[in-house]
Every structure is written in structure tokens, then in C-alpha cells.
Amino acid sequence: MDASTESLARQWLRAARHTLILTGAGVSAESGVPTFRDALTGLWARFDPEDLATEAAYREHPGLVWDWYEMRRGMVRAVAPNPAHLAIARWAAAHPGTVTLVTQNVDGLHQQAGSEHVIELHGNLFRNSWLHGCGRCDAHRTDTTHPPSCTACGALLRPAVVWFGEDLPRVALYRAQHAAEIADVCLVVGTSGLVYPAAGLPGQAKAAGAKVIVVNPQPSALDATADAVLQMSAGDCLPRLLAM
Ligand code: OAD
């Protein structure tokens, strides 16, 4: 990776009044959380998302899908944030009010690393919601069914993550798009750039005048939008790129 691209990226980050940081599964890969699309190790290489990450799949196989998310929760509980998560948290703390962190990840590792006000576009594994509940559903008083269900209406508890075909949380998306509009720099870390609307944020930021920096050891769909591509792992790159 040529040093001049990295030093240019560092200059842009230091001069930025507003920075949008967009992360994907790659930022958690070095913590041991599988990505989605990496050839052999990715979740979608081993499981069919249509069977596990849609409302239809949950209705058809609620126990199977619930157990799969319990498995993922267990996997994340067993790992810790890595140097990339920590570098982002330190950078944001040292530049108060100028950094917006938007993640596609549902693992909560940014928050564990100390990042605050993280915008979670795809929800969070450790929160639950109801599958079309009656409004009086109480997660503390559920039936002993598997998955748990509401004692009043029988609605199923579900992981509060965004499934395919579902809209993103509106406030989170609005805040992320606003951050793209005002950003001077958009730092994109560890995403294939294939899933919209998240993958549209760097292009939106660029159209509004921002410099786009991509960090990914592999080519990604966002490289063409980038002003600087740093083909390295997040854990190697970010501690240097965001060094104080
Ligand atoms: P992907 O699995 O599609 O892409 C992960 C990216 O991280 C790939 O481009 C890898 O090359 C890169 N990568 C792998 N190891 C890395 C490392 N150590 N450092 C930096 N980058 C690394 O994951 P996402 O782009 O996050 O959506 O996927 C987007 C969405 O698709 C997810 O949020 C999920 C999935 O379906 C929902 O669940 C709604």
C-alpha cells in the first residue's frame, strides 16, 4: 500500500470539520466475527439468507431462525473489540462533535470499544422486538414457547435486526444521510458496498463534496467512488490512519 495515499488520507481526516465513518462486517472480522460474503468463512457462504434473514423464514421456521441468532449472539459474546474499533472510538473522542459513526453491524462491538451515539442501520443482535405485536406485548412476561411469545396476543419475539425486504429504522437512516450531506470526509471500513441504502452513503457524501477513503484488503464495490483506496485490513490500517 503506497505511503503517499495513506498520508493524503491522513491529511484529509485531520483537516475535516465533519467526518462520516461507515463500517461493515470487515471491521469486526479480526475480532473473530464472520463477515457475510467472504468466500468460505462468510455467513452467507454457509447459510442461505433467504432461510434465515427474512420474515417469511421466521414464520416458517421460528425455532431454527431464533436458534441461529442465539448462536450468533453467543459468538459475539465470546469476542472483544479489536484495534480498529478502538482506533475509531479514540478518534471520535478526541474530535468531539465532528465524527458520525454509522455501522451496518449488529454486533455492538463499536459501543463496547467506547464509541458513543453509534448509528446502527441494521439494528442490534442483543435487542429484541415483536413480530407484529398487539402493542401490549411485554418481553419480561412471555410464554414458555420457543421462540418466546406474547402472553396476550401470541406474537413472537424476534431479534431487532433488519431482515431482507424490511425498511431500515427511519431515524437512523435520516441521521446517516444528514451526516453524508455535511461530511468533508467519508471513511468506509470493511464493507463490500453491495447492500443499499447503506452502500449509497459514500456516493451521497462525495456528491456533496466529501473525500471518500475506502479501507478493505479486497476490492469492493465502493472503490470506484473512492478518492483513496487503502487495501489493508482495518486492524492494521486504522491505528495508523487515526493515530493522534
Ligand atoms: P460483507 O461480508 O458483504 O463484506 C465484508 C467486507 O469486509 C468484504 O469486502 C471484505 O473484503 C472486507 N473485510 C474482510 N476482512 C476485513 C478486515 N480485516 N478489515 C477490513 N475489511 C475486511 O459485509 P457487509 O458489507 O457489512 O445486512 O454486508 C452488508 C450487509 O449485508 C450486512 O449488514 C447484512 C448483510 O446481509 C443485513 O443483515 C441487513
Local confidence band at 50 (pLDDT 50, 70, 90 cut-offs): confident
Distance of CA 79 to the CA centre of its chain: 16
User: How many Å lie between the centroid of ligand 1 and the Cα of residue 225?
Assistant: 17
Residue 36: what pLDDT?
83
Q: What is the pTM of this model?
A: 0.95
Residue nearest to atom 11 of ligand 1 (CA): 218
Which amino acid residue places its CA nearest to atom 18 of ligand 1?
233
pLDDT in tens, 149-172: 998 889 999 999 999 999 999 999
pLDDT at 42 over 80: no
Q: Enumerate residues lining ligand 1, CB below 6 A.
A: 24-26, 29-30, 35-38, 42, 53, 104, 122, 162, 190-192, 194-195, 215-218, 220, 233-235
112 has a pLDDT exceeding 80:
yes
Active site residue ranges: 122
pLDDT, the chain, mean: 93
Q: Among residues of the chain, what percentage have pLDDT more than 70?
A: 98
pLDDT at 126: 96
CA 29 to centroid of ligand 1, rounded, Å:
9
Contacts of 88 (CB under 8 A, 6+ apart): 21, 23, 27, 101, 110, 113, 115, 189, 238, 242
Q: What is the pLDDT of residues 218-231, one digit of tens each?
A: 999 999 999 999 99
